[in-house]
Chain A
Amino acid sequence: MAKIIFERFFLKNGLTVLLHQDKNTPLAVVNVLYKVGSRNEHPSRTGFAHLFEHLMFSGSKNAPDYDTIVEQAGGENNAFTNADITNYYINLPAANIESALWLEADRMFQLNINKTSLETQRKVVVEEFKQRYLNKPYGDASLLLRPLIYTSHPYKWSTIGKEPSHIEQATLEEVKSFYKTWYSPNNAILSIAGNVETEKVKYLIDKWFGAIEPSSVPVINLPVEPDKTQRTFLEVERNVPASALYMAFLMCDRQNPLYYAYDMVSDLLGNGKSSRLYQTLVKEKMIFQDISCYIAGSIDKGFLMIEGKIHDSYTLEQAEAEVWKVIETTSGNISDYELNKVKNKYEAAYYSSLVSLMSRAENLAFYENISDAELINKEMERYSETSLETIHYLFKNELLKDKSVVLYYKKAKQ
């Protein structure tokens, strides 16, 4: 039941194709991943990759109204951008898969780039910026943290951008050049899941994508973010109901075997009500209202984040000291039982992530972009192979004060 079976092949123009057949659904998902994200942006044009994602819906030469055709074919579509990739999908009745392939090929080949849609989407994205980051309590915390965690790598700005003005200043010329640089078959992964006939869909893929010329995609040499050697600290005051503490640690890149250990460390510390931080600081000591720990697993060095909101009777200094106490008591003191617990949790989460057709298509492309789509079937093993020693190693060598990035997000006095 568990293994995701797929086929992989390459078109002559460099497009990577992944096919996963599922006969138990009337649907099909066409997912296109472009290997470009906010890490590829110019420091004075942050937020550009995401703005461009919006422009991909402005129509192409033969399909001037992208969304209408998706809807006519009974499909729904959407997209997201993160630091590493821009990902688009259409989820539609399997019988109409050719419509989706035709649409995606047309906008990969000859997108309509025009002033009107740029002007509208600049406004829409600025509203998105406000809605999700500025006009929401704690919404700007992630904007503040990135430049503290990263000093040289472009992960130092958020995907939405450093500030709305970068988006407001984007020009038509820049949009055109971005499209030319990054949106080509040799910089994309096409992943298809659903009730499709393999031979027929192969023919259709070649028919619509085969003739698109490859381009010379720049080789990216991004700076490697140096390890932290001393505590980084920032305090801000905001009009919020409770002070919040954020503590981050720079971690390894996605291909490093330590990635799995970091993920398990984050679960041990702060995923679920039985986790160390939650039990001690929310339940027993009642210092935090809530606390959690998670990792941001990007292609280049990611980070582990602890975040929580504290009760008014404690200061952020006290709260931070208590988090350190929990880290210190956990270090070197984890049982096999606890390790099994996080492995079980991971197993359930892993299968949950493969329930929908869409997430299978998306995950295949995601893993292929990291290195190999087959990873989708190996992740479970990677977690179960992770030893207690490796986890202890991280506690001893990485979760240290000198390597921490700390943000005090302080409640302003009323």
Chain B
Amino acid sequence: MRNRAVIPEISKIVSIQIPEINKFKIGGIPCNVVSGASQPLIKLDISFAAGETYNENPLVAMFTNQMLLESTLKHSAQEIAEQLDFYGIEISPSNGMVYSTLSMICLTKYVEKAWVLLSEMITEPKFDEDDLKILLENKRKQFLIELENVNHLARRYFRNAIFGKHHPYGKLYELEDFDHINSKQLFEHYQRLYNKDNLRIFVSGDVMEQHLQFMENHLHIANKPSAIPAISSNFIGKPQKKYIQKEGALQSAIRIGKLTISRYHPDYHALQIAIAILGGYFGSKLMQELRERKGYTYGIGAFTMSLKETGYIVITTEVASNVTNLAIQSIYEVIEHFCTHLISHEEMENARAYLMGEFLRTFDGSFNILEAFKAMDDLGLGMEQYSHFLDVLKHITPEEILSIAQRYLSNGYSEVVVGQINE
């Protein structure tokens, strides 16, 4: 019988199958595959350890990677663009601090075409001066637009604040850095880092044995050692506070965070869960307080980030200008309360149930599974990280959350605020 007042029984998720990744080498290059698809599509990702931090000028990595989409020794940029568009191949270059990636999504029936093109782009780029000139000018303009956006500015200066402006992770590029980019420099970066020993391949979707065979037969990449500089673990010592005045801004962008621990630390998964409770979903403490109770913002979130050398947490939001100081105060109050009070069992169970569901969604479909794997592989870790996270999530208690909060969240925050700040 129907009784609306009685909530239908909720079943707890008890077991989650951690998907397996098919790992092997093609022509000596690590290739990671998850097959399975609801649609006739294949996703190809290739990733080189050639990110921003591997060059004095942080822009070099981005431009090197972007220029792979331009002219090659065999084809003009226009011919490449024409081929990609003709076969409906989506390609997107992306750049992180450590890795430079090209991602392609194509129809199964055109995967051979896609691979031949991709292979040509990474092995025979021309770094043509004219292509670069246009790209530079356009990226420079995009950068100018970003400088008008409070959120972008806050993101920029936050990294600077926690890593220090001299560390490769904290170094910012400025407008004048665009003037110092030339093809010779990009070609050097390319030659130094876009080599076989520095490459990983990820394939997901509607992929079959014959596709992988084809890929193996059609990739001829330089087999010479890459020169990868070591990254210092010497970060800035003291928390920084930075306030950037932006006249006429209707909202202030706020970033509050600190260096904590990396994914290699035994507490990392517990910290991830604690951060989720603090600001990782709609029912989280920060979202409830700043959005639902006070209406200061459209949204606020807290995240953990991990690099090889360290990890950090960050709280991000954009709030009405006139409540900037109140909002900052409110964030610290929520953190303070979180570090001094046990969360209720109900809150613990809610968070646990939500995160279990979130975990299931992480592995929904082969594209997502391989992306989850890549995030770990980037750090030299594997899918066992997810099993471990799951174990922690199943058993963590409010007491453990409090102890984690006290250990990692109680103080030492850096703060970046960009907006119309009234002192």
With known contacts A76-B358, A96-B11, A355-B41, A311–B81 Cβ distance under 8 A:
no
Instruction: Please state if A135 and B145 are interface contacts (CB–CB under 8 Å).
Output: no
Instruction: Please state if A347 and B10 are interface contacts (CB–CB under 8 Å).
Output: no
With known contacts A93-B360, A135-B249, A348–B84 Cβ distance under 8 A:
no
A114 at the interface (CB under 8 A from B): no
What residues of B have a CB within 8 angstroms of the CB of A119 in the complex? 295
A346 at the interface (CB under 8 A from B): yes
With A and B bound together, what is the CA distance between A99 and B354 in angstroms?
A: 13
Instruction: Please state if B41 and A351 are interface contacts (CB–CB under 8 Å).
Output: yes
With A and B bound together, what is the CA distance between A96 and B357 in angstroms?
A: 10
B2 at the interface (CB under 8 A from A): yes
Instruction: Please state if A74 and B137 are interface contacts (CB–CB under 8 Å).
Output: no
Number of B interface residues, CB 8 Å? 74
With A and B bound together, what is the CA distance between A286 and B136 in angstroms?
A: 12
Instruction: Please state if A279 and B88 are interface contacts (CB–CB under 8 Å).
Output: no
Instruction: Please state if B41 and A241 are interface contacts (CB–CB under 8 Å).
Output: no
What residues of A have a CB within 8 angstroms of the CB of B141 in the complex? 241-242, 289, 309, 311
A382 at the interface (CB under 8 A from B): no
With known contacts A68-B350, A355-B41, A274–B85 Cβ distance under 8 A:
yes
Count CB-based A-B contacts (< 8 Å).
213
With known contacts A93-B360, A124-B295, A127-B298, A73–B320 Cβ distance under 8 A:
no
Instruction: Please state if A76 and B357 are interface contacts (CB–CB under 8 Å).
Output: yes
What residues of B have a CB within 8 angstroms of the CB of A196 in the complex? none
Instruction: Please state if B148 and A347 are interface contacts (CB–CB under 8 Å).
Output: no
With known contacts A27-B364, A71-B350, A348–B88 Cβ distance under 8 A:
yes
Instruction: Please state if A71 and B85 are interface contacts (CB–CB under 8 Å).
Output: no
B190 at the interface (CB under 8 A from A): no
The smallest beta-carbon distance between B102 and chain A, in angstroms, is: 15
The smallest beta-carbon distance between A94 and chain B, in angstroms, is: 9
Instruction: Please state if A352 and B41 are interface contacts (CB–CB under 8 Å).
Output: yes
Mask, A340-365, CB within 8 Å of B = 1, is: 11001111110110111100000000
B385 at the interface (CB under 8 A from A): no
Instruction: Please state if B8 and A98 are interface contacts (CB–CB under 8 Å).
Output: yes
With A and B bound together, what is the CA distance between A72 and B138 in angstroms?
A: 47
User: Which of A25, A69, A99, A289 lies in contact with B364, CB distance below 8 A?
Assistant: A25
Task: Please report whether the interface of chain B is mostly helix, strand, loop or mixed according to DSSP.
Answer: mixed
Chain B residue, CB-CB nearest to A128: B298
The smallest beta-carbon distance between A134 and chain B, in angstroms, is: 5
Instruction: Please state if B320 and A127 are interface contacts (CB–CB under 8 Å).
Output: yes
The smallest beta-carbon distance between A65 and chain B, in angstroms, is: 8
Chain B residue, CB-CB nearest to A338: B86
Chain B residue, CB-CB nearest to A61: B4
Chain B residue, CB-CB nearest to A78: B282
Instruction: Please state if B251 and A351 are interface contacts (CB–CB under 8 Å).
Output: no
Instruction: Please state if B4 and A344 are interface contacts (CB–CB under 8 Å).
Output: no
A22 at the interface (CB under 8 A from B): yes
B250 at the interface (CB under 8 A from A): yes
What residues of B have a CB within 8 angstroms of the CB of A67 in the complex? 282-283
What residues of A have a CB within 8 angstroms of the CB of B318 in the complex? 127, 131, 135
With A and B bound together, what is the CA distance between A76 and B354 in angstroms?
A: 8
What residues of A have a CB within 8 angstroms of the CB of B77 in the complex? 273, 283
Find residues 266-323 in chain B having any chain A CB closer than 8 Å to their own CB.
281-283, 291-298, 318-320
What residues of A have a CB within 8 angstroms of the CB of B81 in the complex? 272-274, 279
Counting chain B CB atoms within 10 Å of each CB, the highest count among A62, A95, A344 belongs to A344
The smallest beta-carbon distance between B141 and chain A, in angstroms, is: 5
Instruction: Please state if B364 and A93 are interface contacts (CB–CB under 8 Å).
Output: no
With A and B bound together, what is the CA distance between A208 and B5 in angstroms?
A: 12
With A and B bound together, what is the CA distance between A337 and B87 in angstroms?
A: 11
User: Which of A25, A96, A130, A208 lies in contact with B250, CB distance below 8 A?
Assistant: A130
With A and B bound together, what is the CA distance between A273 and B134 in angstroms?
A: 13
Chain A residue, CB-CB nearest to B291: A124
The smallest beta-carbon distance between A95 and chain B, in angstroms, is: 5
User: Which of A122, A124, A240, A348 lies in contact with B297, CB distance below 8 A?
Assistant: A124
Mask, B326-355, CB within 8 Å of A = 1, is: 000000000000000000000001110110
A63 at the interface (CB under 8 A from B): yes
What residues of A have a CB within 8 angstroms of the CB of B251 in the complex? 127, 130-131, 135
B18 at the interface (CB under 8 A from A): no
What residues of A have a CB within 8 angstroms of the CB of B177 in the complex? none
Find residues 249-266 in chain B having any chain A CB closer than 8 Å to their own CB.
249-251
Instruction: Please state if A348 and B85 are interface contacts (CB–CB under 8 Å).
Output: no
Find residues 1-38 in chain B having any chain A CB closer than 8 Å to their own CB.
2, 4-5, 7-11, 13, 16, 36-38
What residues of A have a CB within 8 angstroms of the CB of B88 in the complex? 344-349
What residues of A have a CB within 8 angstroms of the CB of B147 in the complex? 241
Instruction: Please state if A240 and B148 are interface contacts (CB–CB under 8 Å).
Output: yes
Instruction: Please state if A74 and B353 are interface contacts (CB–CB under 8 Å).
Output: yes
With A and B bound together, what is the CA distance between A61 and B4 in angstroms?
A: 9
What residues of B have a CB within 8 angstroms of the CB of A123 in the complex? 295-296, 320
Instruction: Please state if B298 and A106 are interface contacts (CB–CB under 8 Å).
Output: no
Contacts from A to B (Cβ < 8 Å):
1-2, 22, 24-27, 61-63, 67-69, 71-77, 91-93, 95-96, 98-99, 101-102, 105-106, 109, 119-128, 130-131, 134-138, 207-208, 211, 239-242, 272-275, 279, 282-283, 286, 289-290, 309, 311, 337, 340-341, 344-349, 351-352, 354-357
28 contacts between A and B (CB under 8 A): A22-B38, A27-B360, A61-B4, A62-B4, A62-B5, A62-B7, A67-B282, A68-B350, A71-B283, A71-B350, A73-B10, A75-B354, A93-B11, A120-B292, A124-B291, A124-B297, A125-B298, A127-B298, A138-B145, A242-B144, A272-B85, A274-B82, A274-B86, A282-B134, A286-B137, A341-B86, A344-B107, A351-B107
Contacts from B to A (Cβ < 8 Å):
2, 4-5, 7-11, 13, 16, 36-41, 77-78, 81-82, 84-90, 105-107, 110, 134, 137-138, 141-142, 144-145, 147-150, 206, 248-251, 281-283, 291-298, 318-320, 349-351, 353-354, 356-358, 360-361, 364-365, 367
The 6 A-B pairs at the shortest CB distance, nearest first, are namely: A74-B357, A123-B295, A348-B88, A241-B144, A273-B81, A71-B354
